[in-house]
Structure 1
Amino acid sequence: MADRRLQVFHAVAKHGSFTRAAEHLFMTQPAVTFQIKQLEEHFNTRLLERGHGRVSLTPAGEIVMAYAERILDMSEELESRVSELTDELAGTLTIGTSTTIAAYWMPRLLEPFKRKYPRVIPRVVVGNSALTEARVTARELDIGLIEIVTDQPAIERRTVARDELMVICQPGHPLSGEASLEAIDLMGYPFITRDPGNAIRELAEKFFESAGISMDQLIICAEIGSLATVKYLASCGLGYGIASRAAIQRDLREGRLAAIPLEPRLYTPLEVIIPKDKFRSRLIATFADHVVEVLGRMAEEIDPSNESVAD
């Protein structure tokens, strides 16, 4: 509903970059530049200063930015209010999710929601939990699904369930026959760890540290952002990894991986996060409720002890 030029201008000003604005809007950079040029021609003045790798607002740009934020907020509220009257959810829903949730949980969350609300367009952005949390805090995402417990005051969180973390390795690996593994048991073997900011990496580091083992005492053989790559390298015998139980169900059934519980048991939370002071459209609220219901049910199917976790 809002003027597309204002939407593009707002994104460029907020991100301080034509390139990052284009990525956020799923546009090409020339298309972003064209929209800004049209807006500047409309007002017959320069709105943005370009230089030193970053964009800044001119005095006129500051005024346009202030009004753009108000107009865009009102436009979003208008769309939601009218949609509520028609009793049909529609529009774009921008969802941030961690790599593990994207790989296993997200497809089964989206399929029933899309069938019920076909006019909703989910736009899923995958990144580690820390990045997703930051983008929800900055209101770049409508909703986030993460594996860390956030204490950000600008975020409303709902703990849905938990997912057990397990050591994964090639069947036949020396670790594969153990009933459970303590931190000390893992020290002599190559470890395929995750990227900085990844929730599973942070929990694994705390697991070792609580046993008095620092990360520089471990044999780190790779640092991988992709869950699929971690599983593949582990299945090839290059080392062991730590992954969530939900993410390895098919690999276990098909015999590609062995999984061993940690001792003490280690769990990652499954959290739904929303900007606390953002206008809460019915679309966002409905999807959040849907995630809590479906994710909780899925988690309980995998691990019955999840029944009492969701709050």
Structure 2
Amino acid sequence: MVQSPLEFRHLRTLVALRDAGSLVRAAQLLNLTQSALSHQIKLLEDRYAAPLFERKSVPPQFSAAGLRLLALADTLLPQIAEAERDVARLLDGQTGQLRIAVECHTCFDWLMPAMDAFRHRWPEVELDIVSGFHADPIGLVHQNRADVAIVSELDEAEAVDYHPLFSFEIRALLAHTHPLAAKPYLVAEDFADQTLITYPVPDEMLDIVRQVLEPAGVRVARRTTELTIAMLQLVASGRGLAALPLWAVQGYLDRGYVAARPVGPQGLTGRLYAASGKNAKPYLGDFVQITRESCFLSLKGIALL
């Protein structure tokens, strides 16, 4: 009997290439180097003596052979994932809960779609967002009031497991008529005589303060609001500057509502992690994977950690 060269990873590669739209993004989605991904595809193409997709097209245009393998992947991969979830259910019981605590106001933009996808795969798991904003969400995990916390920093002193989610650029936002809009990027000193418009959180929870202003010894006046749109309205009216994730404001930038500039010549990067207790349920890993994949495919300009 001739052994098939097809493996589970090959099918995942083809699906990732289709969903991500390019080799570069597919490699990020699968946590592989682009050369390793290309090597996988080349082995299959050599085996079948046929190209699987057009290299120069973006998004990739699959050949007849590539489409047939994609059809196989779309049939088998969901069945494999379902079988793995069934095994987890058999080993760990049929029900459970996943209580999520967040420290960032913009998290809900991507958290709700991820929760919807998770609910579809794990309908027996009760999902809940711990009510209100929490300055110390990991504390809720320790108190058994939450099962997972979405946080922006790693603290090795905490007795939790950190699951990397994604990184993203934070841009300074300002009115189009603001004098600083003439600069290619802003530095800490540019904020010195400005009002910084933020969510109502402590200074140490703001990347712009923690990574940029505080190290430079720059202190600024702050004005706070709960809503992103209210923050942008204040910026557009010339009441101050803001610094927000690019993915959270891209729609407003596309409509020309406010201007955006990088913070520093290399830009300012934020990161998000899911923190859980040491004895987390098996379905937590699926939640993390679903979150990473859904965010990577739907949020502009993020990179998986």
TM-score range, shorter chain: 0.5 to 0.7
* Structure 2 length-normalised TM: 0.61
Checking the alignment, whether the CA contact within 8 Å between 1:92 and 1:122 is kept in structure 2 is: yes
Checking the alignment, whether the CA contact within 8 Å between 1:235 and 1:256 is kept in structure 2 is: yes
**Which residue, 262, 270, 273 being the options, matches 1:271?**
273
Query: What residue is the counterpart of 1:241 in the other structure?
Result: 242
**Which residue, 177, 180, 184 being the options, matches 2:182?**
177
Deviations 1:249-299 (A, max 9, x none): 1211222222111004221111111012x3x22232321332233334555
Name the % identity. 20
Report the alpha carbon displacement of residue 132 of structure 1 after superposing the two structures with TM. 1.5
The CA RMSD over aligned residues, in Å, is: 3.1
Which residue identity is paired with 2:100? I
Checking the alignment, whether the CA contact within 8 Å between 1:167 and 1:261 is kept in structure 2 is: yes
Which residue identity is paired with 2:151? I
Instruction: Specify whether residues 257 and 91 from structure 1 end up closer, same or farther in structure 2 by C-alpha distance, changes over 3 A only.
Output: farther
Which is worse superposed, 116-125 or 175-184? 116-125
Query: Are 1:210 and 2:209 an aligned pair?
Result: no
Which residue identity is paired with 2:262? P
Q: Distance in 2 between matches of 1:205 and 1:283?
A: 33
Equivalent residue pairs, number: 220
Q: Look up the SS of the partner of 1:144 in the other structure.
A: strand
Which residue identity is paired with 2:301? I
* Structure 1 length-normalised TM: 0.60
Q: Distance in 1 between matches of 2:214 and 2:242?
A: 17
Equivalent positions of 1:108-123 (< 5 A) are 108-123=113-128
Query: What residue is the counterpart of 2:172 in the other structure?
Result: 167
Q: Distance in 2 between matches of 1:170 and 1:251?
A: 12
Query: Are 1:188 and 2:229 an aligned pair?
Result: no
Query: What residue is the counterpart of 1:135 in the other structure?
Result: 140
Checking the alignment, whether the CA contact within 8 Å between 1:99 and 1:127 is kept in structure 2 is: no
Q: Look up the SS of the partner of 2:289 in the other structure.
A: helix
Unaligned runs of 5+ in 2: 1-84
Instruction: Specify whether residues 157 and 197 from structure 1 end up closer, same or farther in structure 2 by C-alpha distance, changes over 3 A only.
Output: farther
Q: Look up the SS of the partner of 1:210 in the other structure.
A: coil
Q: Look up the SS of the partner of 2:261 in the other structure.
A: strand
Deviations 1:102-160 (A, max 9, x none): 33221231232223333433211365564212212322111111222233432110222
Query: What residue is the counterpart of 2:293 in the other structure?
Result: 293
Which residue identity is paired with 1:163? F
Unaligned runs of 5+ in 1: 1-79
